[in-house]
A and B are shown apart, each in its own frame.
Chain A
Amino acid sequence: GIQVEQSPPDLILQEGANSTLRCNFSDSVNNLQWFHQNPWGQLINLFYIPSGTKQNGRLSATTVATERYSLLYISSSQTTDSGVYFCAVEETSGSRLTFGEGTQLTVNP
């Protein structure tokens, strides 16, 4: 099956700092999503981004499908950004999301 690798595994920031999270995947995909799992365990869909660039407030994402990677940018981070960020992909050959292991983000005040 497809492999999804996220980096870094852990990230600690001071409030106001910017960060970039990376997701590499091993095969062609139909779908790529970024999720934020908040401290209450909810999986919040941030972006549906199989290709191209999208922005939503302080967050933006870029997927370069031909090179099999995606980036999530967080600018002016806030303590509420803390949690685990997951990248998940859907292979062209199937109808399922395969998740990476996540990046644990801690934003300190």
Chain B
Amino acid sequence: DAGVIQSPRHEVTEMGQEVTLRCKPISGHDYLFWYRQTMMRGLELLIYFNNNVPIDDSGMPEDRFSAKMPNASFSTLKIQPSEPRDSAVYFCASRRGGTLNNYGYTFGSGTRLTVV
């Protein structure tokens, strides 16, 4: 398996622009997570899905952030409008559910977002 695939690897955008981050989870994994990593706050969970349904979005910082999972193999995290304080590394992760989960969470390589 190719692992969790994220795109783009790097994104530089101007304040006020819309940004869309993409994630393809590992086939057969029914949980998908979006994390953000900053120097100040470390690694924090933004939102997670189970079987394509959003379960907990309490970590989404504000209404400018939205996430979707239209099918089992694709998810997006959108920021509109973007602000400089959104600059961070955004990770996507996936895992199997229940007793099938013997390997834990697998993380993608991350998207480094810079908003100028």
Contacts and interface: CB of A to CB of B under 8 A. Distances in A.
A45 B43 contact: no
Interface stretch (A10-18, A58-66, A93-101): A93-101
Contacts of A86: 43
Interface in A26-50: 31, 33, 35, 41-43, 45, 48
Given A42-B110, A95-B55, A97-B45, A31 B33 contact: no
B67 to A, nearest CB: 14
B31 A95 contact: yes
A45 B42 contact: no
Given A41-B112, A95-B31, A102 B42 contact: yes
Contacts of B106: 45
Looking at chain A's contact residues, the main secondary structure is: strand
Given A41-B110, A86-B43, A102-B42, A97 B105 contact: yes
Interface of B: 31, 33, 42-45, 48, 50, 55-56, 89, 91, 93, 101-107, 109-110, 112
18 contacts: A33-B105, A41-B89, A41-B109, A41-B112, A43-B91, A48-B102, A48-B103, A48-B104, A88-B43, A94-B56, A96-B45, A96-B56, A97-B45, A97-B93, A97-B105, A99-B42, A101-B42, A102-B42
| Pairs A-B, 10 closest by C-beta atoms | A48-B104, A99-B43, A43-B107, A33-B104, A96-B45, A42-B109, A48-B103, A97-B105, A101-B42, A31-B104
